[in-house]
Chains A and B, each alone.
Chain A
Amino acid sequence: MSNERTILVCAKETPDTYSDLSFSGGDVQFSNPRPVLNAYDASALEEALVLSEAHGFRVHVVMIGPERAAETLRKALAMGADEATLLTGAPEGADSAVIATILSSFVQQFGPDAVIMGRQSQDTDVGLAGTMLAEHLGWPWTTNAIGIRVEENMFWVKRQGDSAQESISSPMPCLITCSNNLNDPRIPTLKGIMASKKKPMHIMGIDQLPGGESLISTPPSTVVDSLTPMPARSKGQVVEGDLETLVDALVKGLAAIPETGVDA
């Protein structure tokens, strides 16, 4: 490996959650059958590419998925990443803890100067993998970035808090998870797509990583039991009559709502 500083972007492919969805047999199906690059990870990649253009980082993207996911990962190369690794053979039903353990093994072997990734995945909205990965690595981490800059070997992250924006500095190496409000990820150009064919894409089994045997046999600590559609909003009630009737109905209606909220 050269002395070039590297940003590692951890990405995931997800179903196209913007397409129509339907439920059948306890599973969810999307009308677009092709998976997409998780939008939050696309923002992370976009920011890594901007930092690379300004500071000369090498951008490497890693993804855990089946071999088919190479096409989604190639999109990252087409957007401008220099190199990519697809880690195949993840255990069935891998949850955030399992994913973070696998990524941790890869990151320790790889040794990047920073890890940048989406703050969550657009299908499950769990948002744990980044934090768990940083904990495994013992690195400083910042979540929900809406701006990132690099100054004198420090990453400066503008973070969206509940009511204020925080400016946080982290020494390298560090881990940053990104909001999708960070930027508008670039669309791959035709030239980028053609050039991506010539860029290195490594496909390796998770069992080839340090501690690989235990990585592929670690059972997930949580299991998704079932998927059900979001409950439909209950039908509203139309009240007609004079003012007194309307006010009475409103007061009775409000009194009937449990203190914990309408849907509790």
Chain B
Amino acid sequence: MTFLFFIFAALTLFGGIGVVVNRNPVTSAFSMILSFLGLAALFIQLNAYLVGVLQILVYAGAIMVLFLFIIMLLDIPKAENKRFPVFTLGASVVVVVSFVTLVIAVITKSGVGAAKLPAIEAQKGPGQSDVHQIGELLFSTYWFPVQIVAVLLLVATVGVVVLSKRELK
């Protein structure tokens, strides 16, 4: 269990690092898919099966394909051949390091993180699976946000069509 966790966490993080350091956007995109696969595995380890599957289907499947499609459509020159400016690099390192330090400080200070993974009852019966539970929440308590999100998706679709049809000068 713990062993698997470390493997998948490493996969996620190295995938992420790959996105940042690769000069070729296509490679970056593939690293990102890798990272998302690891993330989905972490979700499943947390008994979040539906979310894990969604992560793969929507993110690694749909969204990343869209990215790749755009990258290839635009036919972007291979890389930013220039090296990163020293100032930018330094500043980013400072920010990122201080951020990580802060996260660790917060986690240790609050103390909630020490909690062990609590046991949950096995999900067996038809009314027990997390898909069932989430579905019930979505269509009872959260029915209104679902409608709103549906409208949002429609608006986004229309917006994309409008954006790509218009002749920009």
Tell me if chain B binds chain A: no
